[in-house]
Amino acid sequence: MGLEQYKGDMAMCCRCSCCKFIPMQRVSGLQYSNVCPSIAKYEFHAYSGGGRMNIGTAMLNEGLEYTDKLVDIIYDCQVCGACGVSCNYAMDMEVQEPINEMRIKAVSDGHTRPALDKVIRGLRKEGSMVPVNGKRGAWASGLKLKDATKEKVDVVYHVGCLTSYDPKMHKLARATAKILQKAGIDFGVAGDNETCCGGRAYQMGYEKDFLKQAKKNMAMLQKAGAKTIVTSCADGYQAFKVLYDKHKLKGDLEVLHISEFIARLLRDGKLKLRKKVDLAVTYHDPCRLGRLGEPWIHWEGKKIPGDRFVFDPPKQYRRGSKGVYEPPRDVLKSIPGVRLTEMTRIKEYAWCCGAGGGVGESNPEFAKWTAQERIEEATSTGAEAIVTACPWCEKTFNEAIAEAGSSLKVYDIVELVENAL
């Protein structure tokens, strides 16, 4: 069905422009009221959620031809889901899904960006969304972790491409492993045999490649007999939790982000944080852990003919309200000495870090511009550090900070937890 199935939703767009701003009740001034990086940067309405709905309609009704501009519009978007949240405060319509489908259609029609094609070629060859740099499991050297591809384990820790192959990110994987060890969790990793979750390929519109990766991962997990998968990457979390489920591949696998797992361990008394970490922080909600981490809702039905846009059976919309917002905050509040101050745009209406949707790969300037705005917002809270829960956010923030010459520090939540153990 693809884009076609969202024809009715796209036609519902009333061009109110709410998709450009955080939900109206949350607007607390002129500053930090934008929610969509794409329209904020490129200005033309075509770059907004509403503009994309109208373009989607034109693609279906008028067979809109691909121009360079159309390709820019399609790919200069982090697919961060913020427009959908703001729209769905008031409207009953799908926004995020048609945007995903437009990308999938563009890829299927052969209109892609060379930088993204290159990444996907790497994925097909090496099973990674980032350039391969040594062995995938090298980060685990000396930790004596179980090999989930050979031993039965309760929990599999899926590390992810960036954390595995970027030596600067190895600290995140090692911290995660140490936390799990400290809590006595029976877990394993796939090490050199781990492969990409496919989530970022999906964001870029390469649905078939995503499905291949998803099937490989689920086969491995079934073989390992794992009931639970833990990720320390928000993209991985969304892939396993939401996208695998959407494509009916997840089964009854429990998917947890490490922040959820740590919050659970703290609650159950299996983990204690005793050391003081004297730091004023603010927390950045990664899009794919927050609003886009909301569980998938399986639904099939038809519009009831007549006046209202209602369905049989009733349709529930994923409005971003059920993302993972509290567990990371609970964890931060459990660390002695950490003082959390919130930014203006948080939780379901958080501003994106800039890295998603292939923007980091195909338009790094735009990614950096987006991160820059977040860094400025974080700095305005008086925090010494911005804490996130995804290596892609950390990478993009660090690049923006380096360029801006800011003194703000960036930490992943597992680093602070490790320091407090």
Partner 1 sequence: MALSKEIYKEFEDIVGEPYLCADPAVMPAYHQTQFAAIILPKNTAEVQSIVRLCNKHKVAFRPVCTGWSGQFAANTLYIDLRRLNHIIEINEKNMYAVVEPYVITAQLQAELFKRGFHMNVKGAGANCTAMLRGHGHLDQTTSGDDRNHLAIEWVTPEGNLVQSGSLGSSDEWFCGDGPGPSLRSILTSAVPPGVTPGVFTKAAIKIYHWPGPTKFPIQGTSPDYTLSEIPPNFMARYYSFPSVEKMWQAEIALGENEICFELMGFNVSMVAANITTCNEEEERVFKQMEKDVIGPGFFVIIAGNSAADYTYKKKVLEQVVADADGQSLKYVEDPRIEGILICQCIRISASVRETFRAGGAFSSIPVMGQRDLTIRWAVGAGKAKLPLIEKGLIVDDGGGFFGWGVEQGHLGKTEIFCKFDPLNLKAKEAVEQWSLVQSQRAFEERYFANTMRPHSEIGPGMSNFHIWWKKVTQALDPNDVSPAAGALV
Is residue 376 close enough to count as binding partner 1 by CB under 8 A? no
In this complex, which beta carbon is closest to partner 1, that of residue 11 or of residue 138?
A: 11
Q: How far apart are alpha carbons 289 and 44 in whole angstroms?
A: 29
Select from 1, 25, 63, 142 the one that contacts partner 1 (CB under 8 A): 25
One character per residue 270-309, x = contact with partner 1 (rule: CB under 8 A): -----------------------------------xxxxx
Alpha-carbon distance of 236 to 359, in angstroms, equals 17
Considering the rule CB under 8 A, would residue 363 count as an interface residue with partner 1? no
Show the tokens assigned to 166. Answer: 């970027």
**Cβ 25 to partner 1 shortest distance, Å:** 5
- For partner 1, the closer of residues 263 and 417 by Cβ is 263
Least Å from the CB of residue 293 to partner 1: 13
- By CB under 8 A, residue 110 contacts partner 1: no
**Least distance (Å) between residue 296 CB and partner 1:** 18
Q: Closest approach of Cβ 375 to partner 1, in Å?
A: 22
SS3 sequence of the chain = CHHHHHHHHHHCCCCCCHHHECCHHHCCCCCCCECCHHHHHHCCHHHCHHHHHHHHHHHHHCCCCCCHHHHHHHHCCCCCCHHHHHHHCCCCCCCHHHHHHHHHHHHHCCCCCHHHHHHHHHHHHHCCCCCCCCCCCHHHCCCCCEECCCCCCCEEEECCHHHHHCHHHHHHHHHHHHHHHHCCCCEEECHHHCCCCCHHHHHHCCHHHHHHHHHHHHHHHHHHCCCEEEECCHHHHHHHHHHHHHCCCCCCCEEEEHHHHHHHHHHCCCCCCCCCCCEEEEECCCCCCCHHHCCCCCCCCEECCCCCCCEECCCCCCCCCCCCCHHHHHHHHHCCCEEECCCCCCHHHCCCCCCHHHHHHHCHHHHHHHHHHHHHHHHHCCCCEEEECCHHHHHHHHHHHHHHCCCCEEEEHHHHHHHHC
- Residue nearer to partner 1 on the CB measure, 294 or 418: 294
* Nearest residue (CB) to partner 1, 106 versus 230: 106
- Measured from the CB atom, is 59 or 414 closer to partner 1? 59
Binding mask 26-65 for partner 1 (x = CB under 8 A): xxxxx--x---------xxxx-x-xxx-xx-xx---x-xx
* Smallest distance, partner 1 to C-beta of residue 120, A: 24
CA distance 333 to 387: 12
CB hemisphere CA count around 148 (13 angstroms): 32
> Per the structure block, which two tokens stand in for 176?
């995660």
173 binds partner 1 (CB under 8 A): no
If binding is defined by CB under 8 A, does position 380 make contact with partner 1? no
Q: Which is nearer to partner 1, 13 or 375 (CB)?
A: 13
Residue in the structure block whose two tokens are 């491409």: 161
Question: Which positions from 305 through 344 interact with partner 1, judged by CB under 8 A?
Answer: 305-310, 314, 317, 319-321, 325
Q: Which is nearer to partner 1, 13 or 414 (CB)?
A: 13
252 binds partner 1 (CB under 8 A): no
Using rule CB under 8 A, residue 16 touches partner 1: yes
**Residue 69 within binding range of partner 1, rule CB under 8 A:** yes
Instruction: Give whichever of 142 and 306 is closer to partner 1, judged by the CB atom.
Output: 306
- Interaction of residue 352 with partner 1, rule CB under 8 A: no
Alpha carbon of 397 to those of 38, 94, 262, 415, 417: distances in Å?
18, 30, 24, 16, 20
Please identify which residue in 38, 78, 88, 195 interacts with partner 1, judged by CB under 8 A.
Answer: 88
Give the C-alpha separation, 111 to 204, whole Å: 12
Closer CB to partner 1, residue 102 or residue 129? Answer: 102
With contacts defined by CB under 8 A, name the span among 85-93, 98-106, 354-362, 388-396 that binds partner 1: 85-93
Q: How far is the CB of 136 from partner 1 (least distance, A)?
A: 37
Q: Decide: is 219 part of the binding site for partner 1 (CB under 8 A).
A: no
Which residue lies nearer to partner 1 by CB, 14 or 402?
14
What is the binding site for partner 1 (CB under 8 A)?
8, 11-12, 14-18, 20-21, 23-30, 33, 43-46, 48, 50-52, 54-55, 57-58, 62, 64-70, 73, 85-86, 88-92, 305-310, 314, 317, 319-321, 325, 347-349
